Structure 1
Amino acid sequence: MVDAATRQFAMVAGEPSGDLLAGLLLDGLRARWPAMRAAGIGGPQMLARGFESWWPQEKLAVRGYIEVLRHYAEIAGIRRQLKSRLLRDWADLFIGIDAPDFNLDLEAGLRGRGMKTVHFICPSIWAWRADRIEKIRAAADHVLCIFPFEPALLAEQGVSASYVGHPLANVIPMQPDRLAARAALDLDPAARVVALLPGSRRSEVRYLASRFFQAAALMHRLQPDIRFIAPIIPGLRAEIEEALKASGMAGKVRLLEGQSHAALAACDATLIASGTATLEAALFKRPMVIAYNMNRVSWHLMHRQQLQPWVGLPNILCNDFVVPELLQEAATPQALAAATLQWLAEPAKVEALQHRFTALHAELLRDTPTLCADAIEQVLEG
């Protein structure tokens, strides 16, 4: 085994979902190399494990072509500065966690100068932007894959990869304790609870929060006994409260700082933005309505490159529309409310969905921290 005192890792996680994945990765690295050090760009989960973040993670949490263009100069500047610092203060290995638009170019530049690189989470070349495979091949010595079908796809393109399971499958219990979650959130055990998750990025909240809260207002009008909870990112509270007030639901939706896992464990159904959170909801075995809305130009550009009929991860992984997706113009408050209420009215359908999500959970469950450390050790020694 390599001398633990010599291991220096550089990492970039560009958004909250990547921060969670990176936190588990750091657990595996720390178990393998107890004295290792890690620095770069990360969030609270990484910081709690001793990671040194040189820039706030929020600087990179931008999604959509138009939104990225608005922040391009700042993001490109951060990447240039980070690359220079890493080449000056050499790391044994760079690990890019998701955020492919930022990380792949950075990885390629570092790898071209002799630094070993790993990309954690295969970009969704099977869903859209298949052209990214060339970038991946140039950027990464190895790819850590979270879905079982990905290593074979990458191997066909000459990219070294391994399946490490999905880290969230380790974090979320196979049988979530709804009553304990409700007790922790001081919710009536018998109440019907809907969780509203309009996203973790400012751009998502801008396009979705008002629709979600208007949908909640419609549901509340029809069924006043429903309780609404909304886990939020602390830095987005002002935008959330503004949308809540405009919808007339201020005081009727309980805002939770963080606690998204508690909210998903406690709820009967969730109205949720497309993204990693939808997989979290599936692992909590919760019925959901997936929604997304973004800048029209960004949507048009992304939609043209879409390779599958599904956008939500639960549907992609189940290879079927197991939960509804309401995107762009279809994501009206009326449609969102109706689809969410339908789950509350059909317990047999919910039970069937829970069985399907349990099977999915079992397929994704692996010792991810250890498998990641095994793969990274092989790259270092290779």
Structure 2
Amino acid sequence: MTSTPPRFGMVAGEASGDLLAGLLLQGMRTRWPDLQAWGIGGPRMAAQGFTAWWPHDKLSIFGYVDALLNLRELLGLRRQLGDRLLALPEAERPAAFIGIDAPDFNFGLEQRLREGGIKTVHFVCPSIWAWRAERVEKIRRSADHVLCLFPFEPELLQKSGIAASYVGHPLADAIPLEPPQLESRAALGLGGQGPVVALLPGSRRSEIKYLAEPFLRAALLMQQARPYLRFVMPVAPGLRGLIEPLVQGVAPTLNLTLLEGRSHEALAACDVTLVASGTATLEAALFKRPMVIAYRMHWLNWWRMKGKNYQPWVGLPNVLAREFLVPELIQDQCTPEALAREGLAWFAEPERYTRVQARFAEQHLLLRCNTAQRASDAIAQVIGRA
């Protein structure tokens, strides 16, 4: 049995999960070139030979309101996937199921599979250090092992009797220590001199709904103050139909280039970014780009979440630094005027700009530790193929 290529069930939700899972699969294939993997995933996973039984955008929702509106479909999808994996003959069952992020979907599935005799690994520790500490019990019931992106997480989990490994962040391995700014500007058609601001309002429809307009209005204010500014906005697949009418209605005179994806090139090319809280903030830090972190959501989601945070920081670069390296504008604070003010401040304070870039370089080195190999080593231990 140990000579046969291992099989893995996997679920990754949204573009960020697909990105992490694609990098993880790339490393796993170094150890097991002929592995098989199937479940729910996106194009980056498919590029590594993953078979998507369902597309990853089925899980592209955010918050309690969106979850409630889609609850019946999500529960049905989770049940179908569990049925399909557990119905496989013993010899064809996955050596392990790997849930990538999407904890509200994956934990219930992992618990069922684990009780059915399938080993489970969860990749990306939920932010129990920030909010929703009650998830610890769910993790204990669901995961045989947790792969942690940040160095302080395994100790927190191990105190609760949960096996965990620090594997670093795969993006820290994938993103160069010295971002290729000039090359990226040329590739995006942004040749010439002058600062560039990247607008990253998110990849979910709900994020576009709440953040795209404030970002565009803020960019107009920034352009009024500094007419030589240029702006780029990466647009996630399938969302251009939402963005283009908004740009025409809100900011038709903005010096803006819309991109089909290519968020990493946009971050490499820019000088400053306005960015939605989430994985993109860490990507911006790895590209050493000073930023303004923003988030808005349905008022009910905000009401339920705001009392559950255990620390003052939301953005990942600030969480890692344990201080406000960059400004955060959340919910009612996220206005065009505040976004523009904080964005322009980076251009007016060069010493602060340079200092933050140095701190981001330190974070990059901390997280860069060959995640793919570390993660595949931990998975090999779980499935008994070390």
Q: Normalising by the residue count of structure 1, what TM-score does the alignment of the two structures yield?
A: 0.98
Task: Report the counterpart of residue 315 of structure 2 in structure 1.
Answer: 312
The within-5 A match list for 1:250-269 is 252-269=255-272
The within-5 A match list for 1:348-359 is 348-359=351-362
Cα separation, 2, equivalents of 1:241 and 1:211: 15
Q: CA deviation at 1:339?
A: 0.6
Task: Report the counterpart of residue 250 of structure 2 in structure 1.
Answer: 247
**CA offsets per residue over residues 141-178 of structure 1, 9 Å max, x none?**
00001100111111100000001111110011111121
The within-5 A match list for 1:120-139 is 120-139=123-142
The letter for the 2-side match of 1:295 is: H
SS of 2:165's partner is strand
Task: Report the counterpart of residue 345 of structure 2 in structure 1.
Answer: 342
1:227/1:253 contact within 8 Å kept: yes
- Runs (4+) of structure 1 moved beyond 3 Å? none
Cα separation, 2, equivalents of 1:189 and 1:280: 25
Identity percentage of aligned residues: 57
Task: Report the counterpart of residue 272 of structure 1 in structure 2.
Answer: 275
1:179/1:189 contact within 8 Å kept: no
Task: Report the counterpart of residue 47 of structure 1 in structure 2.
Answer: 46
Q: CA deviation at 1:132?
A: 0.3
The letter for the 2-side match of 1:322 is: L
Q: 1:380 aligns with which of 374, 378, 383?
A: 383
Task: Report the counterpart of residue 2 of structure 1 in structure 2.
Answer: 2
Task: Report the counterpart of residue 57 of structure 2 in structure 1.
Answer: 58
Task: Report the counterpart of residue 176 of structure 1 in structure 2.
Answer: 179
The within-5 A match list for 1:101-120 is 101-120=104-123
The within-5 A match list for 1:159-308 is 159-249=162-252, 252-308=255-311
1:17/1:276 contact within 8 Å kept: yes
2:219/2:254 contact within 8 Å kept: no
Q: 2:102 aligns with which of 93, 99, 102?
A: 99
1:4/1:34 contact within 8 Å kept: no
SS of 1:234's partner is coil
1:217/1:249 contact within 8 Å kept: no
The letter for the 1-side match of 2:190 is: L
The letter for the 1-side match of 2:3 is: D
- Give unpaired runs (5+ residues) of structure 1: none
Cα separation, 2, equivalents of 1:104 and 1:279: 24
1:11/1:95 contact within 8 Å kept: yes
Task: Report the counterpart of residue 11 of structure 1 in structure 2.
Answer: 10
1:195/1:228 contact within 8 Å kept: yes
Cα separation, 2, equivalents of 1:273 and 1:100: 20
Aligned residues: 381
Task: Report the counterpart of residue 79 of structure 1 in structure 2.
Answer: 78
The letter for the 1-side match of 2:229 is: I
The letter for the 2-side match of 1:92 is: A
Cα separation, 2, equivalents of 1:175 and 1:314: 18
SS of 1:125's partner is coil
Cα separation, 2, equivalents of 1:4 and 1:239: 47
1:271/1:288 contact within 8 Å kept: yes
Cα separation, 1, equivalents of 2:296 and 2:335: 10
SS of 1:350's partner is helix
Task: Report the counterpart of residue 146 of structure 1 in structure 2.
Answer: 149
Q: CA deviation at 1:189?
A: 4.1
The letter for the 2-side match of 1:255 is: L
Cα separation, 2, equivalents of 1:2 and 1:195: 48
Q: CA deviation at 1:250?
A: 6.0
Query: Aligned Cα RMSD in Å?
Result: 1.2
Q: CA deviation at 1:283?
A: 0.5
The letter for the 2-side match of 1:27 is: Q
Cα separation, 1, equivalents of 2:289 and 2:252: 24
Cα separation, 2, equivalents of 1:144 and 1:16: 19
Task: Report the counterpart of residue 367 of structure 2 in structure 1.
Answer: 364
Give yes or no for the alignment of 1:326 onto 2:329: yes
Give yes or no for the alignment of 1:25 onto 2:24: yes
- Give unpaired runs (5+ residues) of structure 2: none
